[in-house]
Structure 1
Amino acid sequence: MKQERTKFLAQAALIAAIYTVLTLIFQPISFGAVQFRVSEALCILPYFSFAAVPGLSVGCLLANALAGAPLPDIVFGTLATLIGAVGSWQIRKLSRFLVWLPPVLSNALIIPFVLRYAYGAKELIPWMMLIVGAGELLAAALLGNLLLLILEQQREFIFGREYGSDQL
């Protein structure tokens, strides 16, 4: 039991670190009304392990805080990531190629309000939903599914034999 808990924490921490680093390395395109967060490709990871749910959320929190984002972005950006990650965990049994859908929806619905009220964006909310959703679609669906295919080939080595199990 202790070994499983340690493995879970290590996976979550590693995912958080990778998400944070990718977001900060690509900071110029990771923030704003038109954004392409390369790190959002990792949103497919709940397909393999529940550890990705806290990992992605903590990674988003750290990335936003370290990049100097305003408090509403830190709070609600992290909430959007958490909602998307939980949704991906829930939908993983329906289709492996749809685990990107909850993050796209949660970000497209929440982040435009963050952009309006935290950053003062003047664009219409529906327009920002479309733009944020498009960027998220490219990162989470396109890059995410490519990552999923690569990771599936190495799943036992990376995640262990029990990947995708319902055990936490």
Structure 2
Amino acid sequence: MEREYLVKSVKVAKAMAIAGVYTALTVVLGYWSFGPLQFRVADAMLVLPYLTSMGFESVAGLTIGGFLGNIPSPFGLWDWLFGPATNLGASLVFYTVKRVAGRGAVPFILGGLLSAAWIAFAVGYLELVAIFGLPTWTFLSVLASELVILEVFGGLLVKFAQRIGL
């Protein structure tokens, strides 16, 4: 019973730490994190569920971080809704790809492509184009930036985490 409580506490602590780091990166790099030409560095963390040492707690932390990080967004309530939903979907893609297709370069690239497409559709098209009336190229801009962030920065994050034993 005591061990089970400890395991649950560690998972909650992991989720909150992930949420805190995601939120801090999004807020500190705020100018780059919002809008049609966004380059949200914190989204590199969306690959965390791909790591062996990370379970569903990383999905929860990234979803919570997606909400908290969007509180100062100039898009207000819409970003408070789309942010966590987008992070939930993108992190679940990596979580599922790892469990279905295994680990390796091809599953990781597939996870990045699917996650970037989801983010570009949800944020770039539904929120920024359909709701706020930004130009349609906004979708492509978000897609391109998310591909770089997830595949390059996310890939580096996975390599670093594996190197230090996570």
* Alignment TM class, shorter chain as reference: 0.7 to 0.9
CA distance in structure 2 between the aligned counterparts of 1:100 and 1:56, rounded to whole angstroms: 16
Q: Which amino acid aligns with 2:32?
A: I
For structure 1, the residue ranges without an aligned partner over 5 or more in a row are 157-168
Structure 1 residue aligned with 2:82: 76
Q: Could you state the TM-score of these two structures normalised by the residue count of structure 1?
A: 0.84
Q: Which amino acid aligns with 1:51?
A: E
Give the alignment of 1:1-168 within 5 angstroms. Answer: 1-48=4-51, 49=54, 50-93=56-99, 94=101, 95-96=103-104, 97-98=108-109, 99-111=111-123, 112-121=125-134, 123-124=135-136, 127-156=137-166
CA distance in structure 2 between the aligned counterparts of 1:83 and 1:89, rounded to whole angstroms: 10
Shift in Å at residue 26 of structure 1?
Answer: 0.8
SS in 2 for 1:65: coil
Shift in Å at residue 129 of structure 1?
Answer: 2.1
Q: Which amino acid aligns with 1:73?
A: D
User: Quick check: 1:85–1:102 contact (8 Å CA) kept in 2?
Assistant: no
Q: Could you state the TM-score of these two structures normalised by the residue count of structure 2?
A: 0.85
- Runs of 4 or more consecutive aligned structure 1 residues displaced over 3 Å after TM superposition: 66-69, 117-120
For structure 2, the residue ranges without an aligned partner over 5 or more in a row are none
Shift in Å at residue 138 of structure 1?
Answer: 1.1
Query: Quick one: percent identity of the two aligned structures?
Result: 29
